[in-house]
Amino acid sequence: MPEVVEMDRAIEAAVADGQSLYLGGFTHLIPFAAGHEIIRQGRRDLHLVRATPDLVYDQLVAAGCASEMTFSWAGNPGVGSLRAFRRAVEDGVPNELSIEEYSHFGLVTRLAAGAQDLPFLPLRTYIGSSYPEHTDAIRTVENPYDEGVDEIPVVPPLNPDVAVVRAQRADADGNGQLWGIVGEMVEAAFAADTVVLSVEEFVDSRVIRSDPNRTLIPGSIVDYVVEEPYGSHPSYAQGYYDRDNEAYLDWDRQSASHESTVEWLDEWVYGVENRAEYLEKLDTERFLDLQPRSNYATPVDMGEY
Amino acid sequence: MVTRAAKELVDGDTTLVGVGVPNLACNLAKRTHAPDLEMVYESGTVGSDPSKLPLSIGDPVLATNARSIVPMVQGFGYYLQSGRIDVGFLGGAQIDRHGNINSTVIGEYDDPIVRLPGSGGACEIASNTHRTIVITPHSERRFPEEVDFVTSPGYVEGRENRGQLGLRGGPEAVITDMAVMRFDDAGEMYVESLHPGVDRETVWSETDWDLQFAADLTTTEPPTDREIDLIRNELDPEGIYTGP
């Protein structure tokens, strides 16, 4: 049974220096609140894992929390570069960051292998590319069957020590329901040793059990569950709020130098106690602009048997 | 580039769409000659019907009213790897004469001059779609004799070699701001048509190898007024991808 806790307690209990850490999401449902709490608590030497490291990983890197990253696309989505990530890789600022690089399918296949406790999984990617020369874990095995190719690339499992994933809603037992783009969140949660689930809102268990197909993160794999409204801002939560694109554009300017990046961290991360204070600091108008119009899915009839 | 790229799409195609110019080209095709174009995004949205141009490939407008949304392992596995995607769009920092694309690093991998975002899904898109369309500005540093890193394999050692390696499809066309290029039987890039007002010398000076021209070299058909109107007023009204 997961513990229902506040974010600071969840991070304190779940994340330790030197661990591998997955902060979920593909553009959608990025756990910014959790990332900021990790920075505030001063974790060091983390090995960050995700297909698409974005602003929150850039912030963790700039804050000196990370020494390693495993990823497949490191950019500011729809905007450009991750400048702090580039400074770390190109110039070792604020510290060296070693990288282990895949393509999207390679990385999500690693998590899928991790989730299923398999020693490797094959995939039809990497032949003819430069990846095998630089990523030692990408290897090939002989096809033991007569049909198809003689050899096929394989990748090993990836089991993060901790995964922080977000969902729109959960009950107090940590059964998380999410909709919209799910990316590689479910595989990562099942692959991780410890799972922190952070949600927009708590709902009654009857709501969850009325629509079991939507429960992609079962409470049985969750260790800590946190209710954190707007915990994904400036990314979005489908049906709750849109991406705050101004923040993504601002980050591109703000992160132009290490000094200006640290100034931002001082104000928006170190300068606030928690997510509630961060939200208070933001303009209310800004949230109203991010509010989508409602567009409900038609309820399904599960039947009573 | 946008209108010419849109023409590469056939009505009924299933296409894996990247953000930026490819996104614009696909949305343009869907509103003109290819209304039944099925747009699949790396983020796992299938049959997206965006009400406005998405800001990224993970934008919520791609999810709302989509045909289906699947986890990435399914999008890449059940749709792409299985051969259910006809066309893939790719960009990149460098492309060479065999259509190998680099979107990973400029310079040495371990001591980069410029660290780029990396593959994303580009490597598997190049490996598993039935044809890929490459869209890129034309300049000498983008068209080197050899790329610094093969993120997305083209005709690795010629056209035949691709099939033997177990790779599907291959680059079909490269569309730049100067020309449209295709690949010959040996898997080498050649110029099929030059855009109006562009001459051979300019293209040659912006390409770092002895790029060949088709014997029946033509002039690229310019965009129609309707296409320009759609782009300027509906698809990219703020000129984010096409300039003011």
Three-class secondary structure of residue A197 per DSSP: strand
Among chain A residues, CA nearest to B83:
A124
- Residue A213: how many CB atoms within 10 A of its CB? 8
Question: Residues with Cβ < 8 Å from B221, sequence gap 6 or more?
Answer: B4
Confidence at residue B166, expressed as pLDDT on a 0 to 100 scale: 87
Tell me the average confidence (pLDDT) per consecutive run of 10 residues in chain B, 244 residues long: 93 88 88 94 94 89 97 98 96 94 95 93 96 96 96 89 89 97 96 97 97 97 93 85 73
Contact (CB, 8 A) for A164 and A21:
yes
- What are the residues whose beta carbons fall under 8 Å from the beta carbon of A229, sequence distance 6 or more? A200, A201, A279
**For position B20, what pLDDT does the model report?**
75
- Name every chain B residue with its beta carbon within 8 A of the beta carbon of A56: none
- Amino acid letter, A256: A
β-bridge mates for residue A99, sequence order: A69
Is position B221 annotated as part of the catalytic site? no
Q: What is the nearest CA distance from A9 to chain B, expressed in angstroms?
A: 30
Pair of tokens at residue B212? 């060949």
Burial grade of B243 (CB within 10 A; 0-12, 13-18, 19 or more): exposed
Pick from A72, A109, A181: CB nearest B43: A181
How close, in Å, is residue B43 to chain A by CA atoms? 6
Q: Which residue of A has its CA nearest to B68?
A: A180
User: How does DSSP assign B148-171, residue by residue?
Assistant: SS-SB--SBTBHHHHHHHT----E
Catalytic residue among B38, B42, B124, B206: B42
Please write the tens of the pLDDT for every residue from A166-196. 999 999 999 999 999 999 999 999 999 999 9
Answer yes or no: do B118 and A101 touch at CB < 8 A. Answer: yes
Q: Does A186 touch chain B (CB under 8 A)?
A: yes
Strand order across the beta sheet in which A151-155 lies: A121-122, A151-155, A139-142
Cα separation, A291 vs A46, whole angstroms: 34
Listed as ranges, residues in chain A with pLDDT below 50 are none
Classify residue A76 by its DSSP letter: B
Q: What is the ipTM of this complex?
A: 0.96
Answer yes or no: do B58 and A183 touch at CB < 8 A. Answer: yes
Chain B nearest-CA residue for A293: B64
Q: Is the minimum CB–CB distance between A77 and chain B shorter than 8 Å?
A: yes
pLDDT in tens, A193-210: 999 999 999 999 999 999
Cβ separation B151–A245 shorter than 8 A: no
Identify which of B120, B198, B132 has the alpha carbon closest to the alpha carbon of residue B162. Answer: B132
pTM recorded for the entire structure: 0.96
Taking the CA atoms of A111, A117, A119 and A121 in sequence, report the sign of the dihedral they define: negative
Q: Is A287 on the interface with B (CB under 8 A)?
A: no
